[in-house]
């Protein structure tokens, strides 16, 4: 017979340990390690088999289910990111850096949903009711029929929600919630997890849509909303640079719609306003064609978005050359530099490389590869790309160019914004060709030769 093994976990960071110790070596917290009890610890013990559970009901896949009716806020950018409106009894997490505008966005959303007839409760654990009311006044939303509370006690909040039965409850933020049956401090992983669990199961049980606000710290995971992501139906991140007015609401997970969908907003004195044509906004600061500047025709979710990539390549005064990236993956940049060196014989040793995505946008699409390579080469050769040209395409390690998805949508958007030509991999489907001159290539060497006349 197997001897009973026990396991331990940290109540602060959730790390598993095989034995108890005074300090968790994963997160450094003291006195946070407790023994895991219950059915999750180890192989099934005799006691679980001894007492039988009741049998659960099974259904067929063919059971007819009507699609959930969705509520619309009237803020088109928000409704699209939600997958076409708010699904009843869904749990949504809205994450983002402190101060990025989550409370502003959700107060506006609450007001719009309430005005469209949804019974809405907004619970703030961070601000006093008077503060929230003042903000609503400043946003011109003071007469929206939203019910307001400033509270952090989860038990009291749940009791109230149970009695009031709203259709939408907004909890700002999950880190301030405090469940009195959990011992650790508010904001710790076990508190955040317990609060999110209670609120999401309440959402399912009572058919209430629940929106949880979560702060992400720059350092990353500790007590951040990451632990909540798998519990909720939809995860939206509110991104942007403090210095820029643009804010992007991005769906990173959505059980009721496409992931990677974005909504674009601008932070103004009167709150967040929708940006219906993000490409025009992202390109608005672009001047004359200059070396190092390339327009990437990207796709965000279901929508094409044009953004400007800026690169700077300069001799490095350091013994180790710098590679600095804003808005893109630095590992991916290293890969592209390596491919340019290995396949096209263009060295970057001793050169600092800076890459910036204009407007505070973050890009994760591999189709940006070719635009990045073009920006870097253009900066290195000090030669601007042909005017009014967009670039897209994925680069493989062999130096071959892979066609990107939705070539046609990218071209249409480019044409709409007045671009006249595009550089793209060969083989993309561009039927119903638009009025754009499409210059296709099959590998990076061909691209370098044709555009920069080098190789
Ligand atoms: P907030 O919604 O409080 O951020 P979060 O909840 O994510 O921490 O937004 C705070 C910032 O937004 C603050 O720096 C001021 C700015 N802001 C405006 O520029 N205009 C406005 O109308 C409002 C309400 C806030
Ligand atoms: Mg806030």
Residues near ion ligand 2 (CB < 5 Å) are: 103
Does residue 362 belong to any structural domain of this protein?
yes
Number of domains in the chain: 3
**95 - beta bridge partners?**
214, 237
108 lines ligand 1 (CB under 6 A): no
Rounded Cα distance between 34 and 41, Å, is 12
Greater model confidence, 184 or 94? 94
Q: How confident is the model at residue 265 (pLDDT cuts 50, 70, 90)?
A: very high
135 lines ligand 1 (CB under 6 A): yes
Does residue 439 belong to any structural domain of this protein?
yes
Residue 156, domain CATH: 3.40.50.300
pLDDT of residue 42: 45
Task: Single out the residue of 448, 273, 255, 252 nearest to residue 364, CA to CA.
Answer: 252
Task: Single out the residue of 363, 386, 377, 381 nearest to residue 296, CA to CA.
Answer: 363
How far, in Å, from the CA of 106 to the mean position of ligand 2?
A: 9
Of 260, 276, 292, which residue sits at a domain end? 276
Residue corresponding to tokens 């469209």: 116
Which residues are CB-contacts of 254 (< 8 A; sequence separation ≥ 6)?
82, 83, 233, 234, 235, 261
- Same domain, yes or no: 340 and 376: yes
Rounded Cα distance between 154 and 198, Å, is 8
**What 3-state class would DSSP assign to 288?**
coil
Residue 312, domain CATH: 3.30.230.10
At residue 405, does pLDDT exceed 60? Answer: yes
At residue 40, does pLDDT exceed 50? Answer: no
Strands 389-391 and 421-425: parallel
Of 276, 300, 324, which residue sits at a domain end? 276
Greater model confidence, 125 or 185? 125
**305 - beta bridge partners?**
298
**What 3-state class would DSSP assign to 89?**
coil
Does residue 207 belong to any structural domain of this protein?
yes
Q: How confident is the model at residue 47 (pLDDT cuts 50, 70, 90)?
A: low
Contact 362, 240 (CB under 8 A): no
pLDDT of residue 46: 56
| Residue nearest to ligand 1 atom 21, measured at CA | 271
Greater model confidence, 281 or 145? 145
Does residue 160 belong to any structural domain of this protein?
yes
Tokens read off for 163 = 């009695």
Average pLDDT over residues 181-193: 85
95 lines ligand 1 (CB under 6 A): no
- Same domain, yes or no: 296 and 387: yes
Strands 271-274 and 262-268: antiparallel
pLDDT of residue 454: 52
Proportion of the chain above pLDDT 70, given as a percent: 92
Does residue 49 belong to any structural domain of this protein?
no
Average pLDDT over residues 328-343: 96
Proportion of the chain above pLDDT 90, given as a percent: 61
Of 249, 276, 303, which residue sits at a domain end? 276
- Same domain, yes or no: 319 and 258: no
**What 3-state class would DSSP assign to 446?**
helix
How far, in Å, from the CA of 363 to the mean position of ligand 1?
A: 24
Q: What is the pTM of this model?
A: 0.81
At residue 3, does pLDDT exceed 50? Answer: no
| Residue nearest to ligand 1 atom 23, measured at CA | 271
- Same domain, yes or no: 254 and 319: no
Contact 412, 424 (CB under 8 A): no
| Residue nearest to ligand 1 atom 25, measured at CA | 271
- Same domain, yes or no: 236 and 250: yes
pLDDT tens per residue, range 6-19: 788 877 777 788 88
Average pLDDT over residues 332-353: 95
At residue 434, does pLDDT exceed 70? Answer: no
- Same domain, yes or no: 217 and 231: yes
**What 3-state class would DSSP assign to 283?**
coil
Does residue 441 belong to any structural domain of this protein?
yes
DSSP H/E element including 450? helix 444-452
Tokens read off for 191 = 């508190």
- Same domain, yes or no: 245 and 367: no
Average pLDDT over residues 425-434: 73
Rounded Cα distance between 337 and 369, Å, is 10
At residue 41, does pLDDT exceed 70? Answer: no
Residue 302, sorted as left (phi over 0), alpha (psi -120 to 50) or beta, turns out to be: alpha
269 lines ligand 1 (CB under 6 A): yes
At residue 178, does pLDDT exceed 60? Answer: yes
Torsion of CA 310, 311, 314, 320, to 10 degrees: 130
Helix axis angle, 129-138 to 102-115, nearest 10° = 70
271 lines ligand 1 (CB under 6 A): yes
Q: Which ligand is closest in space to the CA of residue 124? A: 2
pLDDT of residue 432: 55
pLDDT of residue 49: 60
Does residue 54 belong to any structural domain of this protein?
no
How far, in Å, from the CA of 103 to the mean position of ligand 2?
A: 4
Tokens read off for 291 = 């070396």
Q: How confident is the model at residue 225 (pLDDT cuts 50, 70, 90)?
A: low
At residue 50, does pLDDT exceed 60? Answer: yes
At residue 200, does pLDDT exceed 80? Answer: yes
At residue 29, does pLDDT exceed 80? Answer: no
- Same domain, yes or no: 91 and 215: yes
- Same domain, yes or no: 266 and 321: no
pLDDT tens per residue, range 285-333: 787 888 999 999 999 888 899 999 999 999 999 999 999 999 999 999 9
Strands, sheet with 7-10, edge to edge from the N-terminal-most edge strand = 16-17, 7-10, 33-36
Task: Single out the residue of 126, 158, 132 nearest to residue 147, CA to CA.
Answer: 132
Q: Quote the distance between the C-alpha of residue 427 and its chain's center.
A: 30
| Residue nearest to ligand 1 atom 17, measured at CA | 271
- Same domain, yes or no: 36 and 183: no
Rounded Cα distance between 309 and 378, Å, is 11
- Same domain, yes or no: 271 and 285: no
Q: How confident is the model at residue 452 (pLDDT cuts 50, 70, 90)?
A: confident
Nearest ligand 1 atom, CA 271: 22
pLDDT of residue 48: 61
Rounded Cα distance between 369 and 341, Å, is 15
Does residue 192 belong to any structural domain of this protein?
yes
Greater model confidence, 67 or 74? 74
368 lines ligand 1 (CB under 6 A): no
pLDDT tens per residue, range 364-403: 899 999 999 999 999 999 999 988 999 999 999 999 999 9
Q: By residue range, what is the domain housing residue 286?
A: 281-452
- Same domain, yes or no: 149 and 170: yes
Contact 90, 130 (CB under 8 A): no
99 lines ligand 1 (CB under 6 A): yes
């Amino acid at each position: 017979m197997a001897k009973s093994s026990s396991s331990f976990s940290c109540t602060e960071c959730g790390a598993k340990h095989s034995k108890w110790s005074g300090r968790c070596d994963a997160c450094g917290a003291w006195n946070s390690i407790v023994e895991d009890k219950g059915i999750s610890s180890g192989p099934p013990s005799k006691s679980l088999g001894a007492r039988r559970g009741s049998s659960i009901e099974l259904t067929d896949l063919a059971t007819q289910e009507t699609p959930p009716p969705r509520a619309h806020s009237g803020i088109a950018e928000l409704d699209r990111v939600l997958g076409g409106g708010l699904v009843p009894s869904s749990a949504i997490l809205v994450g983002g850096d402190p101060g990025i505008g989550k409370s502003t966005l959700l107060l506006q959303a609450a007001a719009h949903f309430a005005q469209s007839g949804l019974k809405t409760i907004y619970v703030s654990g961070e601000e006093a009711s008077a503060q929230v009311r003042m903000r609503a006044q400043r946003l011109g939303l003071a007469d929206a029929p939203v019910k307001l509370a400033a509270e952090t006690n989860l038990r009291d909040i749940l009791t109230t929600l149970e009695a009031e039965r709203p259709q939408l409850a907004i909890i700002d933020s999950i880190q301030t919630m405090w469940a009195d049956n959990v011992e650790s401090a508010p904001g710790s992983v076990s508190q955040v997890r317990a609060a999110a669990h209670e609120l999401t199961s309440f959402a399912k049980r009572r058919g209430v849509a629940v929106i949880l606000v979560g702060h992400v710290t720059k350092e990353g995971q500790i007590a951040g909303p990451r632990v909540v992501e798998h519990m909720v139906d939809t995860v939206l991140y509110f991104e942007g640079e403090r210095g820029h007015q643009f804010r992007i609401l991005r769906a990173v997970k959505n059980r009721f719609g496409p992931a990677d969908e974005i909504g674009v907003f601008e932070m103004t004195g009167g709150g967040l306003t929708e940006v219906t044509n993000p490409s025009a906004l992202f390109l608005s600061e672009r001047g004359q064609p200059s070396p190092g500047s390339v327009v990437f025709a990207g796709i965000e979710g279901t929508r094409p978005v044009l953004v400007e990539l800026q690169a700077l390549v300069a001799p490095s005064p350091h013994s180790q050359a710098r590679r600095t990236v804003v808005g893109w993956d630095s590992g991916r940049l290293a890969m592209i530099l390596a491919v340019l060196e290995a396949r096209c014989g263009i060295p970057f040793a001793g050169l600092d490389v800076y890459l910036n995505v204009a407007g505070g946008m973050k890009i994760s699409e591999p189709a940006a590869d070719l635009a990045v390579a073009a920006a870097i080469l253009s900066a290195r050769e000090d030669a601007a790309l042909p005017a009014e040209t967009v670039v897209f395409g994925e680069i493989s390690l062999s130096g071959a160019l892979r066609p990107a998805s939705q070539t046609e949508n990218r071209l249409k958007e480019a044409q709409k914004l007045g671009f006249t030509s595009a550089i793209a991999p060969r083989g993309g489907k561009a039927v119903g060709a638009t009025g754009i001159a499409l210059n296709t290539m099959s590998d990076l060497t061909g691209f370098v030769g044709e555009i920069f006349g080098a190789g």
